[in-house]
Amino acid sequence: MEEGYVTTKRVMMFLQLLTPILLLPLLISSSSGEAVNSSENRVCVSKGGRSHQAYELEGKLPESADLEFKDLNMCNMFHEKTCCSASRMLSASLALQNLATHGEASKDCLFWFELLECSICHPDVGVQSGPLRVCASFCDTVFEACSDAYFSTSDSTNQVIVPCVASNDTICEKASKLETNGTAFCEAVGFTVAKPAGDSVEEPCYGSKSILVTVVPVVESLMKTVRLQDRNYELLILDLQTCLKIAVFVLESTMIYRLFYQLVRDARRLRRRNRNRRRF
Ligand SMILES: *[C@@H]1O[C@H](CO)[C@@H](O)[C@H](O)[C@H]1NC(C)=O
Ligand SMILES: *[C@@H]1O[C@H](CO)[C@@H](O)[C@H](O)[C@H]1NC(C)=O
Ligand SMILES: *[C@@H]1O[C@H](CO)[C@@H](O)[C@H](O)[C@H]1NC(C)=O
């Protein structure tokens, strides 16, 4: 009974998800230049910043996660293709564990914080030459989800915060007590935030609404509709990625077919016109 209900629910979700997914390839193919260059044949470029730890795959193509990385059981959404390795993500994994246990974080918070921590593992981020910038809007979402989770200031300047750790001499406080907004939160956790530049186009950033830059925004907007309390949400993301690939393929095929059809039609019209001209 329970299983049947869950299955129905997932099917319903899937139908909800399908519409935006089908729109996606349109957006992707409309930026022809970007799509050509995007991530094929581009190698991992270390980002510096934050932990200053280089990719082990520096200068090489992104790969699928090795067993060690898979065992960390984090950033699963990027395991298929990433510049990250287990050693690169050990401290992030520890931070997540602290957030779950000592930080008393909600499931939503854990989900968003993981997406934030895993930004460096996104395949497109890995191969981009610029620094990693997180979108302010994405930070707002993380901050909102994590406002009741406990963090502590890790140094005397109070500029840096980490998920609460088990130690007698640190005082943990709710994120909402320590920071006032998403941007300040992301910066305190150690990320560089892309500033929304007035009314001009937002610079490319992780978690942006502009679908071209990353898959995360898709996941993000879908998560909002689906509400991620569902215990199947991880499966859903995986399904989603497969679905996305299929959708892109189908749309590309359709467009190629259309183009071809149009060429044939034009040729036919031309031939007809030539024939008519000859007649007179
Ligand atoms: C494609 O990549 C090359 C080398 O990285 C770069 O010079 C070029 O500007 C890129 N083209 C586009 C359209 O992004
Ligand atoms: C921290 O707490 C533990 C017990 O929870 C105690 O054994 C230890 O002595 C304490 N350390 C300090 C520095 O207060
Ligand atoms: C976010 O908070 C910081 C520090 O509290 C503040 O300086 C900044 O202006 C705030 N930004 C926004 C967009 O509210």
- What are the DSSP calls for 208-267, one per residue? -SSTTT-SHHHHHHHHHHH-TTSTTHHHHHHHHHHHHHHHHHHHHHHHHHHHHHHHHHHH
Question: Is 180 contained in some domain?
Answer: yes
- Cα–Cα nearest to 235, from 82, 17, 68, 71: 17
Question: Is 58 contained in some domain?
Answer: yes
CB distance 105 to 147 below 8 Å? no
Ligand 3 centroid distance, CA of 185 (Å) = 9
Query: Using CA positions, which residue lies closest to atom 14 of ligand 3?
Result: 181
Would you say the CB of residue 54 lies under 6 angstroms from ligand 3? no
In 38-174, where does DSSP find H-type helix? 67-72, 86-101, 107-117, 123-127, 136-146
What are the structure tokens assigned to 228, written together?
A: 């991620």
Question: Is 35 contained in some domain?
Answer: no
Question: Is 62 contained in some domain?
Answer: yes
Would you say the CB of residue 181 lies under 6 angstroms from ligand 3? yes
Contacts of 231 (CB under 8 A, 6+ apart): none
pLDDT at 280: 61
Question: Is 244 contained in some domain?
Answer: no
d(CA 136, CA 184) in angstroms, rounded, equals 9
Ligand 3 centroid distance, CA of 180 (Å) = 7
For the chain, list residues with pLDDT below 50: 25-36, 39, 211-218, 221-222, 224-232
Give the other-Cβ count within 10 Å of 196's Cβ.
15
Ligand 3 centroid distance, CA of 179 (Å) = 9
CB distance 28 to 248 below 8 Å? yes
- Cα–Cα nearest to 140, from 207, 93, 203: 207
Mutate to test the pocket of ligand 3, among 161, 177, 183, 186 (most ligand atoms within 8 A of CB): 183
Question: Is 79 contained in some domain?
Answer: yes
Question: Is 268 contained in some domain?
Answer: no
pLDDT at 14: 58
Query: Using CA positions, which residue lies closest to atom 10 of ligand 1?
Result: 37
The amino acid occupying position 148 is D
Total domains in the fold of the chain: 1
Query: Using CA positions, which residue lies closest to atom 8 of ligand 3?
Result: 184
Ligand 2 centroid distance, CA of 224 (Å) = 43
Instruction: Please give the number of the atom of ligand 3 that sits closest to the Cα of 183.
Output: 1
Buried b or exposed e, range 26-51, using 16+ CB within 10 angstroms: eebeeeeeebeebeeebebbbbeebe
Ligand 3 centroid distance, CA of 188 (Å) = 12
Question: Is 5 contained in some domain?
Answer: no
Give the other-Cβ count within 10 Å of 84's Cβ.
28
d(CA 205, CA 130) in angstroms, rounded, equals 10
Ligand 3 centroid distance, CA of 176 (Å) = 13
- The ligand whose atoms approach the alpha carbon of 140 most closely is 3
Contacts of 50 (CB under 8 A, 6+ apart): 120, 132, 190, 191
Would you say the CB of residue 187 lies under 6 angstroms from ligand 3? no
Domain extent for 111: 42-207
pLDDT at 12: 62
Instruction: List pLDDT tens digits, range 85-115.
Output: 999 899 999 999 999 999 999 999 999 999 9
What are the structure tokens assigned to 118, written together?
A: 């895993």
Segment (H or E) for 30: helix 2-30
Buried b or exposed e, range 102-113, using 16+ CB within 10 angstroms: bbebbebbbbbb
- The ligand whose atoms approach the alpha carbon of 137 most closely is 3
- Cα–Cα nearest to 211, from 201, 221, 224: 221
pLDDT at 186: 95
CB distance 43 to 127 below 8 Å? yes
Ligand 1 centroid distance, CA of 191 (Å) = 26
pLDDT at 73: 92
Would you say the CB of residue 158 lies under 6 angstroms from ligand 3? no
Cα 37 to its chain centre, rounded Å, is 19
